[in-house]
Amino acid sequence: NINKNPQGDFWGFSKDLSMEKILVIGAAGQLGSELTRALADQFGGDQVIATDLRDSAKSEFDYCRFEVLDVLNKEGVRDLIKEEKITQIYHLAAVLSATGEKNPLFAWHLNMDSLLYVLELAKDLKLDKLYWPSSIAVFGPNTPKVNTPQFCVKEPNTVYGISKQAGERWCEYYFEKHGVDVRSLRYPGLIGYKSLPGGGTTDYAVDIYHRAIADEKFNCFLREDSYLPMMYMPDAIKATLDLMNAPRESVKIRSSYNLAGMSFSPKEIFESIKNHLPDFQIEYNPDFRQAIADSWPDSIDDSRAQEDWGWKPDFNLNAMTEDILKNLPRYFP
């Protein structure tokens, strides 16, 4: 239960949940579309406002209000927060790793400036809480690859990773200097069947299920032995809500928490699908994304998340494969 702490007791909320008003920025993305639904389930649809750049995303949000919003329009964001008496923001809009390399200056502009705007607004307008996702992309080639610790060398070499690393420093800064209650997770590659990712290096692990269901051969842009940390979307949603529902004093890391679900290679995910669909085929044609994957960890040590707010994932690779193959055809017939 999302409102229970690791001991099974209800969290003591400092104020009535019915007073919270949640703004989700980038709500139509891969994470946003599932997280917004979970927030509406927790708080009620009338307490959640989903926003995105694309007007066409409106039809996805029949359970809460939707507004077109460009996070780089600081005045527009400020007005919406004030008019709607927003108390919490989930700022999810970002350019991911592979797309970021195609237009590095724009990726920096969007990822950094938007975070700084939102941190400033959270400070000035005294918001209750702010959520901002970081990523395993903060790590780089000189980081220990196996069971990567929470605190270690980070020399990211993608613009996305550099922006996430700098963003983590800014989050901690605003918490220390201004008391902004900002919380963050370093997500591994996120895999879900309800929504599509866009522009990431870990996206192959979503696409592979679509090709398998369509009875097509899968062309993999990573080598067969390229291990990466990954997480099934229900675990990512659970982790996010657990972190956001934890009492302020339990959240001891204000840069971003390491978070682990599972680790696998393209060969291993292929084999887990093949157990269900024996005719499925794959070929490997690594492209520029291989170098990005090579610079990231194989697996993550998330003991601080376990200790501080009781994190524990539910899904391993085979449980995820079973669940996706059962459910994906309903979402993408």
Judged by beta carbon, residue 86 or residue 159, the one nearer ligand AKB is: 159
Out of 156, 189, 192, 297, the only residue in the binding site for ligand AKB (CB under 6 A) is 189
Q: How far is the CB of 44 from ligand AKB (least distance, A)?
A: 30
Smallest gap from Cβ 281 to ligand AKB, in A, equals: 24
Q: Which is nearer to ligand AKB, 132 or 280 (CB)?
A: 132
Residue 160 a catalytic site member: yes
Per CB under 6 A, contacts with ligand AKB among 160-179 are: 160
Q: Which of 156, 200, 266, 297 binds ligand AKB (CB under 6 A)?
A: 200
Catalytic-labelled residue, pool 90, 131, 160, 193: 160
Structure tokens at 281: 């085929």
* Beta carbon nearer to ligand AKB, 245 or 263: 263
Token pair, residue 224, equals: 């067969």
Q: In this chain, which residue has its C-beta nearest to ligand AKB?
A: 200
Q: How far is the CB of 329 from ligand AKB (least distance, A)?
A: 24
Q: Lay out the site mask for ligand AKB across 123-142 (x = CB under 6 A, - = otherwise).
A: ------------xxx-----
Residues tagged active-site? 160
Which spans of this chain sit near ligand AKB (rule: CB under 6 A)?
96-97, 135-137, 160, 187, 189, 200-202
